[in-house]
């Protein structure tokens, strides 16, 4: 019986009384971002230089895109472990298609279209696989995307023979990396545009709203007559398509198709989303949380790099931050109830 009492006692929210008010919670991550920036700036003034701030913004735009992709599926209580390998696969596929089209003497427009077509094609194929296996076959998202994680790694390294794929035309890099819109670098402009569209979609469309409903209560969503399976398939396709876009932007930056481009991106994107306040239990989060989380992770690693903190120590810090972030979020929820 003492065990029963123990677990009941644990549900008492008394220990959350010291926590600050709700409005302060909302402002906490932005405040933490500013404190972090100022703290690093105190150690090294270069942190706040315009060049580094632009660098941070540019770095963030990639991670934010991946965190948004991850957020979309996390909203429905899923997640995509295969995101990183999808990025690698798309990078290799895009580069190979463009190199092939260039070699067979097509003009620049055709070459670019071939690259984009191959990239998004591979991305959407991967998303379709995940979506069908998860929604129609009912496989747990962890296993399904762990499966496609392995498959995508295999495809990426086999297609590229494990080496970087050369032959990415200069115009491709110029458009998706070097280009700018009214002085804003392409990567930032694309991510902002996608963020705005995605936020509108999540907040204003039936599809977007139904993601929240499915995440909050899948059974209720089904009973309410939502085509849950179709929506889930679309969600995973959307996630992988966003990942493919990010992969294309990163390929433009490196100027070659990299079979290791995705590396630890799956987990970084999940970490970004989760630190920003997206709930793994589904139904809570959005573009804002993804961007804030990505910004936080990027500023942290940028600051630690500039202040010459050992890369291995950085891994430890990032791990601790992920746990603390989720813990704080849980305390906040407890207080609200």
Partner 1 sequence: MSTILTATPPRTTIGSGRSIVGRIGLLPALLVALVAGMSAIDPQFYGILNILNILRNASFLAIVACGQALVIIAGGFDLSVGAVVALASVVTAKTMAAAAAAFPGNNALIIASGVAAGLGCGLLVGLVNGFCVAKLKVSGFVVTLGTMSATAGVGLMITSGIPVYGMPEAFVKGFGRAQVFGLPTAVYLALAVILVTMFAQRRTLFGRYVYAIGGNVDAAVVSGVSIQRHIVGTYVLSSVLAALAGILLTAQVGSGQASFGGDRMMLQSIAAAVIGGVSLRGGVGRVEIVAISALFLTILGNALNLLHIDSRLQPVFLGVIMVAAVALDELSRRRKSRV
Residues engaged in binding partner 1 (CB under 8 A) = 1, 3-4, 6-7, 10, 133, 137-140, 142-144, 146-151, 153-155, 157-158, 161-162, 267, 270-271, 274, 280-281, 310, 312-316, 318-323, 326-327, 330
Q: How many CB atoms lie within 10 A of CB 43?
A: 13
State in angstroms the smallest separation of the CB of 139 from partner 1.
5
State in angstroms the smallest separation of the CB of 288 from partner 1.
20
Cβ within 8 Å of residue 62, ≥6 positions away: 187, 191, 246, 249, 250
State in angstroms the smallest separation of the CB of 175 from partner 1.
31
User: Which residue bears the tokens 């972030």?
Assistant: 325
In this complex, which beta carbon is closest to partner 1, that of residue 42 or of residue 317?
Answer: 317
User: Which residues are registered as beta bridge partners of 181?
Assistant: 184
What SS3 state is found at 164? coil
3-state secondary structure 18-33: CCCCHHHHHHHHHHHH
In this complex, which beta carbon is closest to partner 1, that of residue 29 or of residue 274?
Answer: 274
Cβ-in-10-Å burial (0-12, 13-18, 19+) of 314 comes to middle
The phi and psi torsions of 257 (rounded to 5 degrees) equal: -85, 120
State in angstroms the smallest separation of the CB of 98 from partner 1.
22
In this complex, which beta carbon is closest to partner 1, that of residue 35 or of residue 313?
Answer: 313
In this complex, which beta carbon is closest to partner 1, that of residue 150 or of residue 205?
Answer: 150
State in angstroms the smallest separation of the CB of 113 from partner 1.
28
311 token code pair: 């890369």
What SS3 state is found at 257? strand
7 token code pair: 């677990």
In this complex, which beta carbon is closest to partner 1, that of residue 227 or of residue 263?
Answer: 263
């Amino acid at each position: 019986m003492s065990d029963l009492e123990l677990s009941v006692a644990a549900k008492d929210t008394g220990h959350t009384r010291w926590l600050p008010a709700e409005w302060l919670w909302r402002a906490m991550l932005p405040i933490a971002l500013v404190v972090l920036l100022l703290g690093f700036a105190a150690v090294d003034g270069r942190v706040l230089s315009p060049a580094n701030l632009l660098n941070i913004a540019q770095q963030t735009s990639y991670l934010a895109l991946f965190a948004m992709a991850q957020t979309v599926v996390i909203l429905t209580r899923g997640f995509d472990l295969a995101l990183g390998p999808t990025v690698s696969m798309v990078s290799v596929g895009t580069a190979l298609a463009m190199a092939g089209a260039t070699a067979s003497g097509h003009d620049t427009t055709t070459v670019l279209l071939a690259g984009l077509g191959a990239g998004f094609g591979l991305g959407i194929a991967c998303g379709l696989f995940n979506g069908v296996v998860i929604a129609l076959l009912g496989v747990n998202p962890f296993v399904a995307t762990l499966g496609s994680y392995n498959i995508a790694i295999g495809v990426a390294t086999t297609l590229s023979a494990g080496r970087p794929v050369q032959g990415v035309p200069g115009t491709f890099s110029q458009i998706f990396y070097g280009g700018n819109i009214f002085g804003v670098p392409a990567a930032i402009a694309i991510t902002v545009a996608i963020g705005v569209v995605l936020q509108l979609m999540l907040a204003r469309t039936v599809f977007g709203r139904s993601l929240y409903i499915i995440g909050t209560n899948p059974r209720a969503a089904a009973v309410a007559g939502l085509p849950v399976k179709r929506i889930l398939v679309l969600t995973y396709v959307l996630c992988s398509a966003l990942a493919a876009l990010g992969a294309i932007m990163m390929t433009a930056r490196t100027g070659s198709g990299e079979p290791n481009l995705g590396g630890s991106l799956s987990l970084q994107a999940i970490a970004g989303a989760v630190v920003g306040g997206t709930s793994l239990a589904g139904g809570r989060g959005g573009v804002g949380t993804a961007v804030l989380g990505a910004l936080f992770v990027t500023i942290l690693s940028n600051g630690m790099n500039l202040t010459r903190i050992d890369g291995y120590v950085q891994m430890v810090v990032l791990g601790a931050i992920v746990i603390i972030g989720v813990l704080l979020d849980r305390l906040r929820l407890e207080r609200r109830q």
